[in-house]
Chains A and B, each alone.
Chain A
Amino acid sequence: MERPTVTESTLSAVLQPVATARGLPNAHYVDPEMHQLEREKALFDNWVGVAFGKDVREPGSAMPVDFMGQPLLLVRDKAGKLRVFQNTCRHRGMILIEEAGPIRGAIRCPYHSWCYSLEGKLVTTPHVGGPGINIAPEIVREELGLIEIRSHVWQDIVFANISGKAPEFGDYADTLLSRWREFEKPVYHGGPESSFKLEVNCNWKLAVENYCESYHLPWVHPELNSYSKLEDHYHIINSGAFSGQGTLVYNPRLDDTGRKFADFDGLSAKWDKSAEYIALFPNVLLGVHRDHTFAILLQPVDHQTTIEHVEIYYAQQSSLGDDVADLRQKNAAMWRAVFEEDIFVVEGMQRGRNGLKFDGGKFSPAMDEPTHTFHHWVATQLSK
């Protein structure tokens, strides 16, 4: 089957200013072939979040990750550097590691036992020159190490650039890194209750679109809206890499006795009451508050199924103590409830896009600019 063409006229409506633009057409949500095209241009050519560093914490830890069909292998090497390899042996293409766990010495392919170091070097090739002969002139080990995928760890999120075509992560996310420079500090994962995933029946983009705007808050999150009203929110726009929204009234009350989590050190007064929620395109949803952060990695399973991997981190080690275990539980439950409230919306939008006469949708210039920013970004990636 031929891939759908992305014509200038298809995307020109999306690339208009928000007041006159239309959203991405239905095909971008319901067509598996379009999904494949977006996989390459919007996801593989950019920095995608694929995992969290906490899951490969110790030297020798390894974890296989399937990201949109790409077999990846995360390994913490002996020096503590997190590396992302293609999880594929250079010999016959066998998957190297099937399950997460510690690697005591070398990564051994289970097929013919070619062995690789944690740094990806090909260490031995048993019997490659015949029984008991482990060398051969044609087998140049220096040329046959594991294929390393460009990666970058920020806020414990493991980003990968699968095609290798993206600019340096620091350049790509520069504006966001500057905006949140005050949060460039160690973060502490909240433990098992701060880790959950949601499988939703929608295209991955709908999760981004819903996350980055505040317009829906009064209708979909009435409890949240009871203390953080629509007028307390502001848009965050960066056409090159992210969009989102912020609130001016962050004031967590998890406990009647006044117990609370410790804040990050050295924050400016802005963060006393502000919190921000930003989608770093294409697939990482982030939230920062004075006392905790969270990240949601969107794992597109197919054009209409997405897994949201949610991890909550705290600003200080003291927030991991038993004395605030119940608060962590409440905080995680609160966020889980919020994210679950969004499911009917993203799944409803997915079903709605089977409507043949839907034209991509009309944006509100006042309220939908973050969403339009994301559509514009996707259209720009597909136009490259």
Chain B
Amino acid sequence: MENGVGRQILDAYKRCEFRALVQLYLDVADDHEARANHDAACYYWTVAYVFALQEGMDCAEELRQKLAAHGREY
């Protein structure tokens, strides 16, 4: 993970900005997916998915589908 994004993620954790965390992890995951790093992408989508569920965000269902398409979620 790029240092700048890593710092942003830590800052978001400190401030409990979970919606921001969803977007940050989603970006990181999509970047890995674009480079065919499927395992890493699923890892970061998972984190984004958990926080999206917690926050009741619409993108949770989309994330579930991405993970399910890779056999990582029901």
Is B truly associated with A? yes
Binding site for B on A (CB under 8 A): 104-106, 108, 113, 115, 123-124, 126-127, 129, 131-135, 141
Q: How far is the CA of A308 from the CA of B35 in the complex (A)?
A: 62
Query: Which residues of A lie under 8 Å from residue B45 when comparing CB positions?
Result: 132
CB-based nearest B residue for A78: B56
* Interface membership of B47, Cβ < 8 A: yes
Contact with A along B47-74 (1 / 0, CB 8 A): 1011011111100100010010001111
Smallest Cβ-Cβ distance to A134: which chain B residue: B73
- B74 A108 Cβ-Cβ under 8 A: no
Interface range, B side: 20 to 34
Which of A108, A132, A133, A141 is packed against the most chain B CB atoms within 10 Å?
A: A132
Smallest CB separation, B65 vs chain A (Å): 13
Could you show 19 A-B contacts with beta carbons less than 8 Å apart? A104-B56, A105-B52, A105-B55, A105-B56, A105-B60, A106-B53, A106-B54, A106-B56, A113-B50, A115-B50, A123-B53, A127-B46, A129-B72, A132-B39, A132-B42, A132-B43, A132-B44, A133-B72, A135-B72
Q: A126 with B46: in contact, given A105-B52, A134-B67 (CB under 8 Å)?
A: yes
Is there contact, CB below 8 Å, between B56 and A131? no
List of 3 A-B pairs having minimum Cβ-Cβ separation, nearest first: A105-B56, A132-B42, A132-B43
- A108 and B50 contacting across the interface, CB-CB below 8 Å: yes
Chain B residues near A104 (CB-CB < 8 A): 54-56
Are B54 and A124 within 8 A (Cβ)?
no
Interface of A is mostly: loop
| B18-45 contact mask (Cβ, 8 Å, vs A): 1 or 0 | 0000000000000000000001111111
Q: For the complex, give the distance between the alpha carbons of A326 and B32 in Å.
A: 64
- Give chain B's interface residues, CB within 8 Å of chain A: 39-47, 49-50, 52-57, 60, 64, 67, 71-74
- Chain B residues, Cβ within 8 Å of A135: 71-74
The minimal Cβ–Cβ distance linking A228 to chain B, given in whole angstroms, is 52
Which residues on A sit within 8 Å (CB–CB) of B49? 124, 126, 134
Q: Which residues of A contact B72 (CB under 8 A)?
A: 129, 132-135
Interface pair A108/B40, CB less than 8 Å apart: no
Residues of A within 8 A of B52 (CB): 105
A91 to chain B, nearest CB (A): 14
Q: How far is the CA of A127 from the CA of B54 in the complex (A)?
A: 16
A131 pairs with B54, CB closer than 8 A: no
Contacts of A129 in B (CB 8 A): 72
Cβ contact within 8 Å between A105 and B53: yes
With most chain A CB atoms within 10 A of its CB, the pick from B45, B47, B49, B50 is: B50
